[in-house]
Amino acid sequence: MSSEKEKALQTNHVALVNEDTTPVKEKLDSSGDENEERGNWSNHLDFMLSCVSYAVGLGNVWRFPYLCFSNGGGAFLIPYCIMLLFAGLPLFFLELSFGQYGSNGPISAWRAVPFFRGVGYGMVIVSALVAIYYNVIICYTIFYIIQSMTTTLPWIGCNHKWNGEFCSTLVTECLDNGGIVTVENQCVKIANMTAAEMNQYNVTADGNITDYKDPLASMRIRPSEEYYRQGVLHDSGDIFESGYVIWELALCLLLAWVLVFVCLAKGVKSSGKVVYFTAIFPYVVLFILLIRGVTLDGYMEGVKFFITPRWELLKHPKVWKDAAVQIFYSLSASWGGLITLSSYNKFHNNCFRDAMIVPFINCATSIFAGFVIFSIMGNMAHELKVPVSEVVDEEFGLAFIAYPEAVARLPISPLWSLLFFFMLLTLGLGSQLCIVETVVTSVVDEFPRYLRSRKVWVLAVYSTLGFLLGLNCVTQAGNYWVILMDNYAADFALLIFGLCECIGLGWMYGVRRFFNDIRCMISDRLVDNPLFKWWGVQWCALTPAILSFVLLFNWIDWEVPMAGDKDFPMGAHIIGWIMISSSISAIPAVMIYELVKAEGNIIERFRQATTSKPSWGPALKLHRLEAINVHKSHGTVMGGDLEPGTDRYKDNDVKYSPADADESMV
């Protein structure tokens, strides 16, 4: 090898093992960041907690418990675990490996297969849209935290300006004062009632009201719901009747974006430390709430309602579709965030180990949160003397209506409310940091020469845009926009992205070649294990088949999204389809662009579009050299050049032995 080439390698922190036997891993670790230009996690725990914080979000607390009891209780865990093993885990491992090997965000990573680069654009578009409304939900939690700092929670009782004539607590107060509520919604003292009136309302002559039923029960609204709808949201009743900006929520939204900016200002160096709190604190609160929950009367009824299996529901395709979609939401697969987070790993990090640990932590958290929520819901049902099914709401209703009402019935209720909403804040913030980092990293990685040194400005611009666009979601119609975006921004687009990842890397890039990419990072011993080939079977066959099945039934069983029990106007649905089309359309658009840009007949154009770019591969020359030799010795090619933009080195110019690195990986 010429001295010029040696010098070029050494200027990029390369030492050839032919002349220096010091283990390569020690050299890189001793110098701090392996990739000095882009940066790495300060330590492995930063990465692990970031993955946990990203995956464990608000959906674990409000979405999973609701899906579980509505789709067969304990029986739902069967399709949930099957989807975890055959869809969630394979994609989680694939994305961690893909991002770590190339050290790029979800767009630039597709230099591996440019034909599928549209998948990366789609992921970034989805993340950018979700970040807008997700921070609005975080601003709700900040508002509730502030309102919980009082001696009496504002959603207790019916004597507030936002309460209406059908507030449900009015009935309880009337009964406690020796009266009943009539069909005219008037509280009448039993002592002042005629015999005919008492007979009409099933009140005995001695004043016994055991058989009395509120004649307007179907019209009653819980105080916590009135507070949420009118006290917090100032609900206009229609998505296109925006009214005014609710300044209290606008300030909370501004604070939410300031928190995001401050936590991400120094990239993974700062966010990696924030997650020590956002990832761990929710477990502390969940444990405290569980201990409190199981000491309450009626908690077992709630737990039974949560876990009692209803096997007959497993025959419905919707149950399996809900399990698959929940896995994608729960693990954050196909969002681009896992690729982003792993791209900051050191090259020889054991991504296989990480991919086995985080998903199981996440799913266990969902089940644990279900026990916490339903133990307290059981107590609430016991207090109200109604079935558990009547006190449980879906998603937003569970977090901001049902649970606040439940904690209002506990001693020292402001403390429990403060803990609960602070837990929601940390859960939401942990996920939001990774979502925003995905968008910012993707933009910077596309234009590294101009933006890498100005990354904080990219973050500032996006945070400002996110705040301004989010203002529409804190108007009187804001909650309808949040629900619309929650239903349309991601939905089945995530399944399409996952399917394309399997096709692009498993079929076009080649599963054997991808195995050798992983071999470069985690050692021969793991990849050569016969059981490891099971991942190839999943990426190439089982996972795509399952995702196709779920997509098919998702479209066949498509239900038009609604805002609770209200229909969206047609214009809102059109906007929703524009949102979801904006991400999905990037895939065929880029495919057409790559084919048009290529030369030759259609077969030659397709071959060029699916051939890796010279810049594809590990970030450092040392690791690119290692990858070239590993691929050659196992019958594949790396795809990229040793030095992109220059003549490709011949395979026998430099020899590198990864033995020392391999020994330390398992």
**Is 499 labelled a binding residue?**
no
**60 annotated to bind ligand:** yes
Torsion of CA 35, 349, 267, 491, to 10 degrees: 130
Question: Distance between CA 215 and CA 451 in Å, rounded?
Answer: 66
Paired tokens of 246: 């609710």
Q: Which long-range contacts (CB under 8 A, 24 or more apart) does 249-253 make?
A: 249/136, 249/139, 249/140, 249/143, 249/474, 249/478, 250/471, 250/474, 252/139, 252/140, 252/142, 252/143, 252/146, 253/135, 253/136, 253/139, 253/467, 253/470, 253/471, 253/473, 253/474
Q: How far apart are CA 413 and CA 436, in angstroms?
A: 34
Secondary structure of residue 89 in the 3-state scheme: helix
Ligand-binding site membership of 427 (annotated): yes
Q: Exposed (0-12), middle (13-18) or buried (19+): which is 244, by Cβ within 10 Å?
A: exposed
55 has binding-site annotation: yes
Residue type, 571: G
Tokens read off for 548: 């196709």
The span from the CA of 400 to the CA of 417, in Å, is 11
Q: Which residue has the tokens 């998505």?
A: 239
Number of H helices, E strands in the chain: 32, 4
Vertex 138: Cα angle to 134 and 143 (nearest 5)? 145
Please state, in angstroms and rounded to a whole number, the distance separating the CA atoms of residues 661 and 520: 9
Q: Which two tokens stand for residue 384?
A: 């109200």
Q: What angle do CA 635, 639, 640 make, to 5 degrees?
A: 135
d(CA 167, CA 154): 14
Q: Is 375 annotated as a binding residue?
A: no
Binding residues: 55-56, 60, 330, 362, 427, 431
Annotated binding site for Na(+): 55-56, 60, 330, 362, 427, 431
